[in-house]
Chains A and B, each alone.
Chain A
Amino acid sequence: EVQLVESGGGLVQPGGSLRLSCAASGFTFSSYEMNWVRQAPGKGLEWVSYISSSGSTIYYADSVKGRFTISRDNAKNSLYLQMNSLRAEDTAVYYCARSETVPAFDIWGQGTMVTVSS
């Protein structure tokens, strides 16, 4: 079964850091581009970041650039999002999503909740 499973979410204080992980299974992870997408409570979807299959090309939304870092380990079939200098407005469910052709995100994880609050 093709599957993405996120982990690492939780409650963090403003200014703090958190590292999200996304474990892939059921497909050749190293062949696919990956993305992080977030959804604030009661709000719509917001694209956060993209990484190419090799990891050589990376893009970030302006709202997170300079604070978040996307990476991947193809040997471990895993995607990561290092989030630093977190703000209240970063509170959201974070999804990892596979894309064979951007912007078609064909497989999504179940999401992990990040809450930034004092």
Chain B
Amino acid sequence: SSELTQDPAVSVALGQTVRITCQGDSLRSYYASWYQQKPGQAPVLVIYGKNNRPSGIPDRFSGSSSGNTASLTITGAQAEDEADYYCNSRDSSGNHHVVFGGGTKLTVL
């Protein structure tokens, strides 16, 4: 099955821009979705498709993709953005499975 690779940890200064990446062969064929998870809470979808935000997600969150890499960008990071972020996509092996990245812990300094 496919794998999605994320950096374990990233930090950003308050108000600055940060990019969180997700790499995997499946991303050459399928879009990634991105989830935010705070301690003790369920994940929340923040980006899906080419660059779509569900209702209620601030527009400082955006998504992009190039080759085998998908990116989640937070423009003007806020303290409340400190969380774990996960990407997922379809498995590229044709088995209709879904794969998640290992997650990135975002610290807002």
Considering only CB atoms, which chain A residue lies closest to B54 in the complex?
A106
Q: Contact flags (1/0) for B20-44 with A, using CB distance below 8 Å?
A: 0000000000100101010000111
Task: Specify which of B35, B49, B89 lies most central, judged by the most chain A CB atoms within 10 Å of its CB.
Answer: B35
Interface of B is mostly: strand
Is the C-beta of A59 less than 8 angstroms from some C-beta in chain B?
yes
The answer to whether B48 touches A101, judged by C-beta atoms less than 8 angstroms apart, is: yes
The complex places the Cα of A45 from the Cα of B99 at a distance, in Å, of 9
Contacts of B102 in A (CB 8 A): 44
The answer to whether A47 touches B43, judged by C-beta atoms less than 8 angstroms apart, is: no
Is the C-beta of A91 less than 8 angstroms from some C-beta in chain B?
no
Of B11-19, B73-81, B90-98, the stretch lying at the interface with chain A is: B90-98
Q: Given the known A-B contacts A47-B88, A61-B97, A111-B42, are A104 and B103 also in contact in the complex, defined by CB atoms under 8 Å?
A: no
Contacts of A104 in B (CB 8 A): 33, 45, 48-49
Task: Specify which of B88, B90, B101 lies most central, judged by the most chain A CB atoms within 10 Å of its CB.
Answer: B88
Binding site for A on B (CB under 8 A): 1, 30, 33, 35, 37, 42-45, 48-49, 54, 86, 88-90, 95-103
Interchain residue pairs A-B with the least CB separation, the first 7: A104-B48, A47-B98, A108-B42, A44-B103, A45-B100, A104-B33, A103-B98
